[in-house]
Amino acid sequence: MDFGLTETQELIRASAREFLEDRSKSDIVRSVAEGDNEAITSLWKDIVDLGWPSLTISEDHAGAGMSFSDLAVLLEELGASLAPTPLVESSICSWVIERFAPDSLKSDLLPQIANGDILITPAIVEQDASWDPESTKVAATRSGSTLVITGEKRFVAFAEQATHALTLVRIDNEEPALVAIPIWKADGVEQTPLAHASGVPVSSLTFNELEIPVGNIIAAENEAIKAVEELTAAGGVARAAQLAGLGRAVVDATVDYTANREQFGRPVGTFQAVQHHLAEMAIAAKQVNHLAYSAAWTFSQEGYSVVAAAQAKIAASDKIAELCWTAHQCHGAIGFTWEHNLHLYTRRALAWKTDYGDSAFHKSKLANAMGL
């Protein structure tokens, strides 16, 4: 057991902190939440320049060839700073493409994701809000070497910025297929932005007889189902890493506030009732951190683990949301205001709680793995 970071990971952490301190300040986070898409584009451009989208892409495909653990260290910092940027979306898609796509597609897509020419985001969920791939209904019909796609995907993050969507469809009402769909200004793709608590753009995507080449199929039939299951698990671990960072940031902010806010002639943080809230928050943040890192490490070693992903995402979803509510209690009235930044964290925690499988989804997966 080694809970320390490698030298590379220490470097990743330090450079991420330095960059995000400046580039993910709360006024930027707020302005993005209010619809400033230019701020997203500008931040993403800098992130591409830093090479972060290429981090876990293999060296064979022009990536940096780093591990899922390395990515988790970076994501923890992105979570702590609420960075409004699609790194999880991009990284998880490239991870799935690397594991499932035929070589020709890998060589085509991955170098472009690495250099920022392609920004790809998962479009898996439909009207029933389920991450279960079996429930997919969006239809594709085969017409020669073309797939014609019709139907609606919901809760697609950064669809407004993305060039491509990684989408599960059902060909001829039967065979599931995972496809890369070019969506940037494409005919036959309609976007409906949703007012989403995450503070980043989230949309519904409606495909109206959208034509894409059959060659864009990344995985078909059982492999497509498996790919989406793995995508959901990996996304869960990635969100857990972000939530670990978010939780840490909220604990730090709450310690800072309660140590300085005075009532009855003393800091409120001297009261045992407040100290115990904070002790419990600190335990929760630490547990989520351990489970997220443990899962990321397991992914690095074994490629994929449904148990580790479930443990991390269950803990992150449940514990960090609760931690945020307790932080509001500790902040008193000031933390209830629009002006105070605390609700930005809470909104993000509640949004991340739901995606890549909520707590109940992963508990069911874990129960299966436990033999229940």
Partner 1 sequence: MRFDFTPEEKKFKRQLSSFLDDVLPTDWHGPADESRDDHWTLNQDIKKGLAERGWLVMSWPKEYGGSDSSPMMNTIFAEEMAYRRAPGHDRFGTRMFGPTLMRFGTEEQRKKHLGSIARGEIQWCQGYSEPNSGSDLASLQTRAIEDGDDYLVTGAKIWTSLAHRANMMFMLVRTDLEATPHKGISLVMVDMKSTGIEVLPIVNMAGVHSFNQVVFDNVRVPKSNLVGDPNDGWRAGMTVLNFERSGIDYAAWARAALEEIVDYVNSDEAAVTSAKTDPTVRIKLAELHMEVEAARLMCYDVSYRQGKGQIPASEASMSKVAASEVYLKVLDYGVEILGMYGVLEPGSSQAKLQGRFFKMRLFYTSGPILAGTNEIQKNIIAQRGLGLPRK
- Rule CB under 8 A: which residues touch partner 1? 1-6, 9, 69, 251, 255, 258-259, 266-267, 269-270, 272, 274-276, 278-280, 282-283, 286-288, 290-291, 293-294, 297-298, 301, 310-311, 314-315, 318, 360, 362-364, 366-367, 370-372
> Whole-number minimum distance, CB 312 to partner 1, in Å?
8
Compare residues 178 and 366 and give the one whose CB is closer to partner 1. 366
CB atoms within 10 A of CB 94: 28
Closer Cβ to partner 1, 44 or 257, answer by number: 257
Of 51 and 267, which has the nearer Cβ to partner 1? 267
Residue (195 or 370) nearer to partner 1, CB: 370
All residues at 6 or more sequence positions from 269 whose CB lies less than 8 Å from its CB, including other chains: 255, 258, 259, 260, 261, 275, 278
Angle, in degrees to the nearest 10, between helices 87-100 and 103-115: 160
Which is nearer to partner 1, 44 or 293 (by Cβ)?
293
CB of 328 to partner 1, least distance (A): 18
Residue given tokens 């990284």 in the structure block: 91
Q: How far is the CB of 267 from partner 1 (least distance, A)?
A: 5
DSSP states of 62-87 as a string? Answer: TS----HHHHHHHHHHHHHTT--STH
Q: At 271, is the secondary structure helix, strand, or coil? A: coil
209: tokens are: 């007889």
Q: Which of 41, 362, 17 is nearest to 184 (CA)?
A: 41
Q: How far is the CB of 232 from partner 1 (least distance, A)?
A: 16
Contact 92, 238 (CB under 8 A): yes
Q: How far apart are CA 236 and CA 356, in angstroms?
A: 5
Strand-strand pairing, 202-213 and 189-194: antiparallel
Nearer to partner 1, 29 or 288 (CB): 288
CA distance 207 to 156: 13
CB of 53 to partner 1, least distance (A): 22
Tell me how far apart the alpha carbons of residues 147 and 150 are, in angstroms, rounded to a whole number: 10
**Nearest approach, Cβ of 222 to partner 1 (angstroms)?**
24
The nearest distance, CB 163 to partner 1, in angstroms, is 33
Residue 342 beta carbon to partner 1: minimum distance, rounded to whole angstroms:
17
Spatial CA neighbour of 74 closest among 255, 277, 288, 238 = 238
Tokens of 173: 């009402």
Report the residue number, 129 or 360, with the smaller CB distance to partner 1. Answer: 360
Which residue, 103 or 302, is less far from partner 1 as judged by CB? 302
